[in-house]
Amino acid sequence: MTGEHPALELRGLAKSFDGKVAVAGVDLDVPAGSFYGLLGPNGAGKTTTLSMAVGLLRPDAGGARVLGQDVWADPVTAKQMLGVLPDGVRLFDRLSGGELLAYHGLLRGMDPAVVDKRSAELLDVLALADAGRTMVVDYSAGMKKKIGLACALLHGPRLLVLDEPFEAVDPVSAALIRDILQRYVAGGGTVIFSSHVMEVVQRLCSHVAILAGGTIKRVGTLEQVRGDRSLEDVFVEVVGGRTATGEELAWLSR
């Protein structure tokens, strides 16, 4: 049914807040089996785009399909195939990690025995088992990312959409998350994630899109986008930016 479709198709997605354009018509095809990096400076529209892509934020115009299923017309079917790590990881945080996973699994109608087994495995692999009865509200920022990722993985989705999964995560946990995601893609899954970390995107991704000012500026395979340069050089060229002249903040020098 879904074999011939991209894992994620965005068409003409647009959103303004109080008359200010955040996303100005984004078209993007994320091929099934790809590891897709979404880059962009602060305020580029990455979170807004990903939120619209997964049905968390209603677009002003345009639409999104997950493996051919319309996210807004048929949200139940689309969301069954989708695992999401939202921005800021808004979680029901007065629960322990295990309780939060159980809650997510039961909301998705999963068999409680399967939820228990997978939860224990995820908590163990993500080094959260030691947190025991600690409530998620008392987790560190990195632990919250990891429990958010566990919630996204629990039902075995076909597509993972992750907003800055490596933000606030220590190097050991980052390596762990990289391994998990690489195994997930090798096993036939698709990942799209936003990031500011060029090195991670360059190391992991088969495809890259650079978003700035609410529009896609560069898109393609990693090789197509970077050519014979580093991704960082391409990013800085595309996004532009202010170069320090040395005159400013003179009052900081002693």
Ligand X SMILES: Nc1ncnc2c1ncn2[C@@H]1O[C@H](COP(=O)(O)OP(=O)(O)OP(=O)(O)O)[C@@H](O)[C@H]1O
For ligand X, the closer of residues 14 and 160 by Cβ is: 14
- Separation of alpha carbons 91 and 147, rounded Å: 9
Give the whole-angstrom CA distance, residue 195 versus residue 141.
16
What are phi and psi for residue 201, nearest 5 degrees?
Answer: -65, -45
Q: Tokens 């990722």 identify what position?
A: 149
Specify whether the CB–CB gap between 211 and 52 falls below 8 A. Answer: no
Which residue, 199 or 223, has its beta carbon nearer to ligand X?
199
Least distance from ligand X to the Cβ atom of residue 237, Å? 18
**Minimum separation from the CB atom of position 179 to ligand X (A):** 25
Question: 6 vs 40, which CB is nearer to ligand X?
Answer: 40
- For ligand X, the closer of residues 139 and 193 by Cβ is 193
- Pairing verdict, β 8-17 and 215-221: unpaired
CB of 88 or CB of 132, closer to ligand X: 88
Measured from the CB atom, the residue of 10 and 115 that comes closer to ligand X is 10
Query: DSSP of 89-104, one letter per residue?
Result: ----TTSBHHHHHHHH
Least separation, in Å, of the C-beta of 223 and ligand X? Answer: 24
Q: Supply the minimum distance, in Å, between the C-beta of residue 62 and ligand X.
A: 15
Alpha carbon dihedral 152, 154, 155, 161, in 10-degree steps, equals: 20
The nearest distance, CB 246 to ligand X, in angstroms, is 27
Instruction: Please report which residue ranges of the chain form alpha helices under DSSP H.
Output: 46-53, 75-80, 97-107, 112-125, 141-153, 171-186, 198-204, 222-226, 231-239
Encoding tokens for residue 223? 């090789």
Contact residues for ligand X, defined by CB under 6 A:
17, 22, 40, 42-48
- Residue 128 CB, nearest distance to ligand X (Å)? 25
